[in-house]
Amino acid sequence: MVIAGCTILSVSNEATAQTKNHNKMDKKVLFVVTSHDKKGSTGEKTGYYLSEVSHPWEVLYSAGYIIEFVSPKGGKAPVDGFNMDDPINKKFWDNEVYRNKIENTMKPSDVNPKDYVAIHYAGGHGTMWDFLDNKEIASIASQIYENKGVVSAVCHGPAGLVNIELSNGKYLVDGKKVNAFTNEEEVAVGLEDVVPFLLENELIERGAIFEKSGLWQKHVTVDQRLVTGQNPQSAEGVGRATLAELKKLELVEQ
């Protein structure tokens, strides 16, 4: 009887461990990328900035998370910052599964917010034209956040944060520490009169406590499950901070 009991206990423990591992591998993060491919009337091409996808992807993918992609229009997302000398960019681009995903992004209507433990807004100048007023994606992000998930964004990605409203009627960024591509950086790239608004100003208008460092300096801010990064140089840090927040939530669940 003792042997049988031990055997049952062993099988039960193994099943529990397998369930935990399975649940870990099934945890998904939704990446939002732009559908917009032109910088205003300049004729210059833009899109999502590759390293702002690949670097957070590499951190989360290596930790066992499944990444899915959504864009305002769905389908193939335009890419900017296409630098294959960056080994993380190359690793992402050469991954057939993820290359296929980002070239066949979901539409917002395809997304069930309950499937995701986090949402990440990748930057790139294209976001300045199609993230701000996208109510569908803002609603998805609000639901993920209010389901105790993590919201992250980097560079121009926080354009998607500006109009996220919570069920209490407050804006997500209101009263929280946030950073993003700064006014000074927009001036430095000569696009302050091309973009439809200055991101730093809009976030402050929504009540964000805006933090920033000097031009092109790494800067990642974390406040109440909201993770934001200033520029492409901050993308890996945003990925690591997002992972740290997710690990905290896993500890609470145990």
Q: What are phi and psi of 150, to 5 degrees?
A: -105, 140
Please check whether residue 147 is in contact with residue 139, taking contact to mean a CB–CB distance below 8 angstroms. no
- Nearest Cα neighbor of 232 from 102, 68, 53, 69 is 53
Q: Which of 58, 125, 155, 202 is catalytic?
A: 155
Q: Which of 120, 125, 156, 219 is catalytic?
A: 156
| 219 classed as catalytic | no
| 156 classed as catalytic | yes
| 155 classed as catalytic | yes
The two tokens of residue 130 are: 């199609």
Q: Which of 185, 186, 200, 236 is catalytic?
A: 186
- In three-state form (DSSP H/G/I as H, E/B as E, the rest C), the secondary structure along the chain is CHHHHHHHHHHHHHHHHHHHHHHHHHCEEEEECCCCCECCCCCCECCEEHHHHHHHHHHHHHCCCEEEEECCCCECCCEECCCCCCHHHHHHHCCHHHHHHHCCEECHHHCCHHHEEEEEECCCCCHHHHCCCCHHHHHHHHHHHHCCCEEEEECCHHHHCCCCECCCCCECCCCCEECCCCHHHHHHCCCCCCCCCCHHHHHHHCCCEECCCCCCCCCEEEECCEEEECCHHHHHHHHHHHHHHHHHHHHHHC
Active site residues: 155-156, 186
